[in-house]
């Protein structure tokens, strides 16, 4: 095995109405260095006290779910992706685990196979597919098949407003309703359809309007993320195309013309000086092993 390093990008999911379907790879990374074989799994990392250092690490669990007899190794994991902030840290660990099994067991998995395996573990493709394929991916996980389409996201500035608190996906998902009326579902679906069409046409002004008309999740999750609506108003005042929750939140993404980025970044920082405001780019490559 010549490959010694795996690099997985962060991802944002949903983009408003693209719930559990749309995802975008971003320029933050989880990097895993693969060491020698050992008697037991050892995962050294800088990812936080709650992340296991042994075989119970999500990355190792994922690899072992694919190749149960995979020989233990020493791993070093570095992560720029904040945990429980809606930027795909768990999905990055799953994708890293798929790639770990792939390279250590010489599986020669195709990208389509990687997406199918990771989607089955994650439950939906919106984070794992762009982490594997890069850029913007629209995906659907059905009972017996997985579908995904990769496309170039329109050029723009992207700011991530990352508040100084965590929000578990399980809590953000629990607040969602169990059912939706048929007329509302049709309306919500039509908004998502126009979002996709606008992005494929590079029309960020229209796409931004659709992002902010989401009916699937943001109005419910705003109860847990009180900064969403005032931040949206501020960003619009400063010329942004749109704001939306990143995944389940609490991170909020702002899409804007590049000429607005300096003023927007300062305004978002002044909005809450305890939060981090990072300028990000779309990550085109997806997972890499080298």
Task: Give the range among 139-148, 164-173, 255-264 with minimum mean pLDDT.
Answer: 139-148
- The reported pTM is 0.94
Contact predicate 228/252, CB 8 Å: yes
Q: Is the dihedral of CA 25, 216, 244, 202 positive or negative?
A: positive
In Å, how far are 43, 100, 176 from 183, measured between CA atoms?
A: 50, 45, 18
Burial status of residue 230 (CB atoms within 10 A of its CB: 0-12, 13-18, 19 or more): exposed
Architecture of domain 157-280 in CATH?
A: 2-Layer Sandwich (3.30)
Domain spans of the chain, in order of start: 5-152+284-289, 157-280
The pLDDT tens digits for 174-207 are 999 999 999 999 999 999 999 999 999 999 999 9
CATH 3.30.70.1290 fits 5-152+284-289, yes or no: no
One fold for both 5-152+284-289 and 157-280?
no
Q: CA 23, CA 126: separation in Å to the nearest integer?
A: 5
Task: Name the nearest CA neighbour of 195 among 17, 7, 11.
Answer: 17
Contact predicate 97/60, CB 8 Å: yes
Burial status of residue 14 (CB atoms within 10 A of its CB: 0-12, 13-18, 19 or more): buried
**What phi and psi values does residue 44 have, to the nearest 5 degrees?**
-85, 135
Q: CA 250, CA 87: separation in Å to the nearest integer?
A: 9
Element (H, E) at 280: strand 276-280
At residue 275's C-alpha, the angle toward residues 132 and 137, to 5°, is 20
Q: CA 145, CA 123: separation in Å to the nearest integer?
A: 13
The pLDDT tens digits for 53-83 are 999 999 999 999 999 999 999 999 999 999 9
The token duo for 10 is: 């962060």
């Amino acid at each position: 095995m010549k490959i010694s390093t795996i690099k997985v990008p962060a991802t944002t999911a949903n983009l408003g109405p693209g719930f559990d379907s749309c995802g975008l790879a971003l320029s933050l990374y989880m990097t895993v260095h693969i060491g020698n074989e050992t008697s037991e799994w050892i995962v050294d990392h800088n990812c936080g006290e709650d992340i296991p250092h042994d075989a119970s690490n999500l990355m190792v669990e994922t690899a072992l779910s694919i190749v149960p007899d995979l020989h233990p190794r020493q791993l070093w994991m570095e992560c720029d992706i904040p945990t429980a902030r809606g930027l795909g840290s768990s999905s990055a660990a799953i994708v890293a685990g798929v790639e770990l099994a792939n390279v250590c067991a010489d599986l020669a998995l195709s990208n389509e196979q990687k997406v199918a395996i990771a989607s089955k573990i994650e439950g939906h493709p919106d984070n794992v597919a762009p982490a594997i394929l890069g850029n913007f991916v629209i995906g659907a996980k059905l009972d017996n098949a997985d579908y995904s389409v990769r496309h170039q996201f329109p050029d723009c500035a992207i700011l991530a407003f990352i508040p100084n608190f965590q929000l578990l996906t399980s809590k953000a998902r629990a607040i969602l309703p169990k059912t939706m009326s048929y007329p509302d579902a049709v309306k919500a679906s039509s908004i998502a359809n126009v979002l996709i069409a606008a992005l494929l046409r590079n029309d960020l002004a229209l796409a931004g309007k659709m992002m902010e008309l989401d009916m699937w999740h943001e109005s419910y999750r705003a109860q847990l993320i009180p900064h969403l609506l005032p931040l949206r108003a501020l960003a619009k005042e400063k010329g942004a195309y749109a704001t939306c929750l990143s995944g389940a939140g609490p991170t909020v993404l702002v899409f804007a013309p590049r000429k607005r980025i300096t003023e927007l970044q300062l305004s978002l920082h002044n909005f809450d000086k305890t939060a981090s405001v990072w300028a990000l780019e779309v990550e085109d490559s997806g997972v890499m092993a080298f």
